[in-house]
Structure 1
Amino acid sequence: MAHAGSIIDIYDDYYADGKVAAKRDIASNQSVGHIEAVIQGQFFDRILDIGAGEGAVLDKLNRKGLGKKLGAVEISKSGVEAIKARKIAKLDSIDVFDGYHIPHPDKSFDLGLAIHVVEHVEHERMFLREAARVCKKLYIEVPLEHTRDLSKAIRMSGPYGHINFYTTQTFENLLKTSGLKVERLKVFAHDLAYEQHLAGEKKGWVKHRLRTEFLRFAPKTAMRSMAYMAGALCSSR
């Protein structure tokens, strides 16, 4: 990851004191909702969360009954410890990895998740090919931060390790040139709860309505002007 040493430095103790817990919990509800919207009722027995953070998404998957067995790989030692502390009932395996080598056999999982991971990765295609080796299908989600005001996105996201900035077109091209077939791709605005967590109740409500309605009525202009998210369900070609 971007490069691996620098990301480890940023995130190794990131989850240790619990300060990001509230934001991660709200974001995980949002992400699981996106997964459900994109997979459209498909069921996957074995699910691997690649870059699992502190396990908030895994916890929601467990509670919702999505998947019979869950696995996690994570670059951050503090993240791995936080996942273990959750005692997730369906969690079958958890491993530290270096961002490019996943310690599981070929096609050993039915679905792999890479949620807000690829924007951090120095060698994106290497990462995605390795994920596709291990998983029959992938759900990949990234922020769409390559807007007219790209300089602001770089300034705001750089401290969190974002080195790749996407439009829907560049995201889809990345997936296809990584040997993946894009089965379904959707664009999402932030949920109301997430906007309000970041901006406060009133301002967050306004930002949510603005972002949501802009995307609905003028999607191309909206995505050139404001940041959104894209989630894609992919299979290997």
Structure 2
Amino acid sequence: MKDIFILPSLRELYSRPYDQSMREWRRLGAIDKAAHILDLMSRNDAAKVGQVLEVGCGTGDVMRELARRGFGQDISGVEIGSERSQQQSEKINGRSVAIEGYDGQTLPFTAGSFDFVYATQVLEHVLHERQFLYELRRVSKGLVYVELPLELFARTRISNLQNSLSLAGHIKAYSLESFLLKLETSGLKVLHHQLNDHSPEIFAFQNGSIVAKVKRRVRGLALKFVPGLAQRLFTYHCGALYTAALKMNIC
């Protein structure tokens, strides 16, 4: 029987250096991701956040954007060693921003080391998601944020999943419901979650200005007025802010 999917070499894919276009894409995406984090954290006391950790930080674009916006005191990031990310440390807006490598399984920090831990567009790359989520929660004193694209919806086809697998290395795909179910059945309590669309700048980067305006308008109106239908027609991103559940009944 013929394989349904063509499996790429993920090691090769993840170690491939970013070209200039991808670096600009990541810079624009970091602005969006930082805005999503700050929006949800505004419902809590973001002023009390000191030590921050990003897991799967890549080249550190989101960390730098958060530092520029005055979030936290010091921001650390970990990334599986590759040509894309090297150990580095710098000061941005009076905050230390440092990146180091890790083995992709166990975070090299003691329990409760950070006030806030986050991972954006990482979970869809992870083989053992529950272990990954456990590690995020373990090193956090309380709050954890995870964001990912919702790629399972009514119009999803095998070709769409193959494209995400081949180009981005997404080995998992989620709907809103399956994402929240994964969190809640991993001993986590979801405090807030929200759906987000791309910024005008990212739409323009992808499509050109005229098409970008039309697409963003249609998708934005759908998400505002018929959110249930919208998430079954288009790919949005979901960000969830969670903490450890008081009691876990999953065996």
- Give the TM-score normalised by structure 2: 0.86
Pick one of 128, 139, 159 that aligns with 1:134. 139
Q: Is the 8 A contact 2:148 2:239 kept in 1?
A: yes
Task: Decide which structure has greater helix share.
Answer: 1
**Residue 147 (structure 1) aligned to one of 137, 153, 178:** 153
Contact 2:67 2:97 in 1 (8 A): no
Counterparts of 2:11 and 2:50 in 1: how far apart (Å)? 31
- The CA distance in 1 between the partners of 2:244 and 2:71, in whole Å, is 22
Aligned equivalents of 1:27, 1:97: Cα separation in 2? 23
Pairing of 1:78-89 with structure 2 (within 5 A): 78-81=83-86, 84=88, 87-89=90-92
Q: Which string of whole-angstrom CA distances, capped at 9 and with x for unpartnered residues, describes residues 19-71 of structure 1?
A: 41110111011111111111115321011010001111011111111010110
**Counterparts of 1:158-177 in structure 2 under 5 Å?**
158-159=165-166, 160-177=168-185
In the alignment, structure 1 segments of 5+ residues that lack a partner are: none
- 1:140 is paired with a residue of what secondary structure? strand
Distance change (3 Å), C-alpha of 1:55 and 1:142: same
Give the letter aligned to residue 138 of structure 1: V
Q: 1:98 offset after TM fit, Å?
A: 2.4
User: Which SS does the other structure have where 1:71 is aligned?
Assistant: strand
The equivalent residue for 1:55 is 60
Question: Does the aligned pair in 1 maintain the 2:64–2:97 contact within 8 Å?
Answer: no
Does the 8 Å CA contact 2:30/2:62 hold for their aligned counterparts?
A: yes
Please give the alpha-carbon distance, in whole angstroms, between the structure 1 residues aligned to 2:206 and 2:67: 26
Following superposition, which runs of at least 4 residues in structure 1 exceed 4 angstroms of deviation? none
Are the structure 2 counterparts of residues 48 and 6 from structure 1 closer, same or farther at C-alpha, using a change threshold of 3 Å?
Answer: farther
Q: Determine the structure 1 residue equivalent to 2:3.
A: none
Question: Which structure is larger by alpha-carbon Rg, 1 or 2?
Answer: 2
Counterpart of 2:42 in structure 1 is: 40
State yes or no: 1:20 paired with 2:36: no
SS at structure 2 position matched to 1:182: strand
Structure 2 gaps, min length 5: 1-7, 246-251
Aligned partners of 1:8 and 1:75 also within 8 Å: no
Q: Does 1:234 align with 2:235?
A: no
Q: CA RMSD in A?
A: 1.8
The amino acid across from 2:226 in the alignment is: A
